[in-house]
Chain A
Amino acid sequence: DAGVTQSPTHLIKTRGQHVTLRCSPISGHKSVSWYQQVLGQGPQFIFQYYEKEERGRGNFPDRFSARQFPNYSSELNVNALLLGDSALYLCASSLEGGLPYEQYFGPGTRLTVT
């Protein structure tokens, strides 16, 4: 069975640009969460989407936005990129929107902002 997939794997952008990251959850999973992992730190929660609605938002500026599509895939958008946005962006899917459903993480998208 395919796990959580994310694209692209790596991305290099310039300050001020916009980026879109994509995530496909495990088949049958309805919830997608996004996390940012800066080098040397643990993942930090950005968003959770369940049944196409935002169900949670972390402490990130409005430059960060996301959406979930009818097929439960998701996009994370970041506008006006800053150097500090360089990180590994992780997507996690789960069967439903709450516990005790385990979150399955994808391999991440490595974003470098120059």
Chain B
Amino acid sequence: KQEVTQIPAALSVPEGENLVLNCSFTDSAIYNLQWFRQDPGKGLTSLLLIQSSQREQTSGRLNASLDKSSGRSTLYIAASQPGDSATYLCAVEGGSYIPTFGRGTSLIVHP
């Protein structure tokens, strides 16, 4: 059974710092990995999707990498802003359209 772990569980940083959020998974036979943002009491917003054949994806200040062989993905946030404060979740899909989510990293960026 796929297990997804996100470290750290919580992070508090001053504005302007570059951040790395980690996601690890136990079964490397995945179709894709997706990073989401969730604001309190809201649904999930997709940030980046990395297909299993890809190594990384970039969108604005966000960069996500994928190393299937080691079962790891990182989400890099450049020049963090208070508006980036949210919970960040990763999800891996291993086939049969069944995603497995991590519990997320709760990020606070203070001015």
Q: Do A and B bind each other?
A: no
Interface of A toward B, CB cutoff 8 Å: none
Interface of B toward A, CB cutoff 8 Å: none
